[in-house]
Structure 1
């Protein structure tokens, strides 16, 4: 991890801040800071490694946070179409596709059906009180 001057900060980041593309600085957290090399294939491999690191982090964490939406928002804000961005998104695409083939879609449908049912129940309960 680097400080705002680009020098190593001397502290070991943990969680989301440990990812190589996340930067915590004086202005707050930046979710997508990358430096393409200009070699699209090499950058694609870097993006794949970043995607795998992100998935590893997600697998370790229990809480449901909107990290990916922040990453994609920052990626879009800088209009990143580099090999790094493509490699990162390709890994997420593969992970999603493979999970769906493993039956995850049925578990997800069940999870969201139950969750939405709870929301509807709570909404109607609030209205009747």
Structure 2
């Protein structure tokens, strides 16, 4: 039995954004919806209503603040995180199909996100 050496995958094609025809539109729509929800919750925080005692608010403001808090708090972060992971798995599958190594791309993206997070901390 002859042993064959397998070469590690190399970049056979340049890494580039996917063509519009191959994008999964539902993922983009859900991602936009998640970002909108995160923005709405952050607006509550930016306005100060998140930290304002509920008993000092007018009834309509209390109802609005409680609704936004109940409807958005932590729900959209979960959706956005799920979509991020799903997007990474799609990128990994496409890299494997091209014969490209995914680990360097993943590490670079995580490093960039870490740097963005550190600048906003």
**What's the TM-score once normalised by structure 2's chain length?**
0.25
Structure with the higher fraction of residues in helix conformation: 2
Structure with the higher fraction of residues in strand conformation: 1
**Larger relative contact order, structure 1 or 2 (CA cutoff 8 Å, min sep 6):** 2
User: Looking at CA atoms only, which structure, 1 or 2, has the larger radius of gyration?
Assistant: 2
